Amino acid sequence: MLPPSRPPHPAQAGTPLRGTDAAAEGPPAASSDRSGVTVVIDGVRRVFDGQTVAVETLSLRIPAGQFLAILGPSGCGKSTLLRLIARLDRPTSGAVRVEDAATAVAESGAAAAGVGIAAAIGPGAAAAGPERARGGAGGGPSSSPAPSNPIAFVFQDAHLLPWRTVLHNAALPLELLGVSRAQRLAVAREELVQVGLGDALERYPAQLSGGMRMRVSLARALVTRPRLLLLDEPFAALDEITRQRLDEQLRGLYLARRMTVIFVTHSIPEATFLADRAVVLSRRPARIVLDAAIELPPQRTAQLRTDAGFARQMRALFAALQDA
Amino acid sequence: MTRFRLLRIIGPPLIPLLVLTAGSELLIRGGIIPGFILPAPSAVVAAVALNTRELLAALGRTALAASLGFLLSVAVGLCAAIALSTSRLVERALYPYTVFFQTVPIIAIAPLLVIWLNYGLKVVVASSFIVSVFPVIANALAGIRSTDPALLDLFRLYGASRSSTLLKLRIPAALPSILTGLRIAGGLAVIGAIVGEFITGYGLGDVIESAKTQQRVDLVFAAVLLASLLGLALFGLINLLSYLALRRWHACEQNG
């Protein structure tokens, strides 16, 4: 559970955003040190090869534990933005900060704004790789036995290692972080059971359906118990039914863990179903066209899709995307 | 049922072989083609039977030399590909020189090998290596270079070191291309070995040379046949290796 004394978030441009902080409404999170982190995108601009502007001076604050959907036309710079947040790319100017609300409060007294583990990246902060952030996240008073990586990324396609079994694919991040074999396999098995793949552990990716592969990819992202989950149109290539089922599963996982989720998609129904807040980006270079709360109950089931409220939320987003 | 399936696999390539053998046998027996130009298949078989000991000894030597040349190509080629893949600068500086191995007229420099390495096995191995190393480098490098960028991102996200990215991602991902390179190199290694043997007098190449000077076309054919079979065996061995390595995950070994 997030600390109740957390100050309100300023600078959230746009329409009714108060009350979208789902962390306050949902069921309590499993453990406090595993709740989400706050992401602050501060005047980020990304120019490729000195000419193509992918992201134009964009600022956005994603409070801890929020499920944000980023919508926009294809090629508008959504993926670039996600890579910047994941620190897989560096902004040309501006900075992306990933802040740990819990730690910031625990250390309250130390500098006022945005301290915590803050792994800032920008042109000047070359050394701030995942390494540093990891050290910070694991250093809390009640850190779990497994070292964790605070950020996880799910790609457009599953991108599994075809020569590894499902179990060893899911265990890969922990292997790279140096977790012992027994421990990483145990955690991977647990996550695979969570996504409903408990009986496919020894199979190879080539023997799985597209939906199953995507679920392995999801389990792989979850093994480090991430506090920020980034998804780049993860279910876009799947058939509608599989996609809806995965959306429901993802929403359930989110409610259970309270991590911060940033979900890039170009599907309005998907964004509406999943997210608490939607940001619509313009054509390249990406600017924010709309920043709106999605006012639907935190628990979302398949029936919601036929609900009148659901349709109303979708219509509003659709109108915004038309203008994008 | 299974026997029938086996026949369906082996049958089609056997038909042209039988037609060709029977046809040439008839043409030569009938005196249409003189036997000293093209030996009858029966004469080749007879030559093998008469010179079994000599031919097998030569085959053994050629097989050893070609295998050593091939293994050297694999070892050197893979190391070179990994080294070249470390940076674009290294690649740009050195890759053009590896093309040298592809373009060098081996028959022209083989005499040099004799001067440098003296006669015997070493020359044959060197010749086999020179001819077969380039496809190993080129295919391995292409494979290592074409690693899925999303997977590279994934490894970076979890702070993987360069060596662990190489061992756990780049090399396994390049395995299908590496094995393609080995398949090409296997056949070339035998060709390179025979060329080296012509110059230095060793193995099957030596048998072919001396049979030629004695106008023993049947023996030339017998030796050539064995050399081809050797190349085929090496190719088969690499295919088996490829099947064992890739069967569980790669499409090219699953739809076969």
Collect the ranges in chain A with pLDDT lower than 70.
1-34, 101-149, 323-324
Q: Is the dihedral of CA B76, B77, B81, B84 positive or negative?
A: positive
What is the reported pLDDT for B3?
67
What is the reported pLDDT for B176?
92
Question: Is B154 in CB contact (< 8 Å) with chain A?
Answer: yes
Look-up of token digits 């800032």? A120
Are A130 and B169 within 8 A, CB to CB?
Answer: no
What is the reported pLDDT for B252?
53
Are B158 and A161 within 8 A, CB to CB?
Answer: no
Q: Which residues in B lie closer than 8 A to residue A219 (C-beta atoms)? A: none
- Distance, in Å, from the CA atom of A101 to the CA atom of B167, rounded to the nearest integer, reads 38
Of B158, B172, B248, the CB nearest to A130: B158
Q: Which residues in A lie closer than 8 A to residue B156 (C-beta atoms)? A: 88, 130
pLDDT in single tens digits along all 256 residues of chain B = 566 777 888 888 888 888 988 998 888 888 888 877 888 888 888 888 888 888 999 999 999 999 999 999 999 999 999 998 888 888 888 888 888 877 888 888 888 888 888 878 889 999 999 999 999 999 999 999 999 999 999 999 998 898 999 999 999 999 999 999 999 999 999 999 999 998 888 889 989 989 888 888 888 989 998 999 999 999 999 999 888 888 877 665 554 3
Q: Tell me which amino acid residue B14 is.
A: L
For A77-92, write each residue's pLDDT tens digit: 888 889 999 888 889 9
Its pTM surpasses 0.80: no
Closest residue in A to B161 (Cα–Cα): A176
Closest residue in B to A160 (Cα–Cα): B151
User: Helix, strand or coil for residue B241?
Assistant: helix
Q: Which residues in A lie closer than 8 A to residue B160 (C-beta atoms)? A: 176
Closest residue in A to B149 (Cα–Cα): A159
Are A152 and B157 within 8 A, CB to CB?
Answer: yes
- Asked if A230 and A35 touch (Cβ cutoff 8 Å), the reply is no
What is the reported pLDDT for A79?
85
Q: Tell me which amino acid residue B161 is.
A: S
Residue-wise DSSP of A20-50:
--GGGTSPPPS-GGGS--EEEEEEEEEEETT
For A230-241, write each residue's pLDDT tens digit: 999 888 888 888
What is the reported pLDDT for B189?
93
Are B249 and A162 within 8 A, CB to CB?
Answer: yes
CA distance B159 to chain A (A): 6
Of B157, B175, B249, the CB nearest to A206: B249
Which are the contacts of B168, defined by CB distance < 8 A and separation ≥ 6? A161, A172, A175, A176, B155, B160
Question: Is A136 in CB contact (< 8 Å) with chain B?
Answer: no
Q: What is the mean pLDDT of chain A?
A: 75
Sequence-ordered alpha helix ranges (H) in B51-170: 52-85, 88-103, 106-117, 121-145, 149-157, 162-165
The complex scores an ipTM of 0.75
Closest residue in B to A207 (Cα–Cα): B249
- Asked if B165 and B155 touch (Cβ cutoff 8 Å), the reply is yes
Residue-wise DSSP of A184-234:
HHHHHHHHHHHTT-TT-TT--GGGS-HHHHHHHHHHHHHTT--SEEEEEST
Closest residue in B to A162 (Cα–Cα): B249
Question: Is B152 in CB contact (< 8 Å) with chain A?
Answer: no
Question: Is A203 in CB contact (< 8 Å) with chain B?
Answer: no
R_g of chain B, CA atoms, integer Å: 22
Are B159 and A162 within 8 A, CB to CB?
Answer: no
Question: Is B120 in CB contact (< 8 Å) with chain A?
Answer: no
Q: Which of B249, B250, B254 to mutate to probe the A interface, most A CBs <10 Å?
A: B249
Cβ–Cβ pairs < 8 A, chains A and B: 66
Question: Is B160 in CB contact (< 8 Å) with chain A?
Answer: yes
Chain A, window 289-318: residues with a beta carbon less than 8 angstroms from a chain B beta carbon:
none
Of A152, A159, A172, the CB nearest to B150: A159
Are B158 and A149 within 8 A, CB to CB?
Answer: yes
For B81-107, write each residue's pLDDT tens digit: 999 888 888 888 888 888 887 788 888
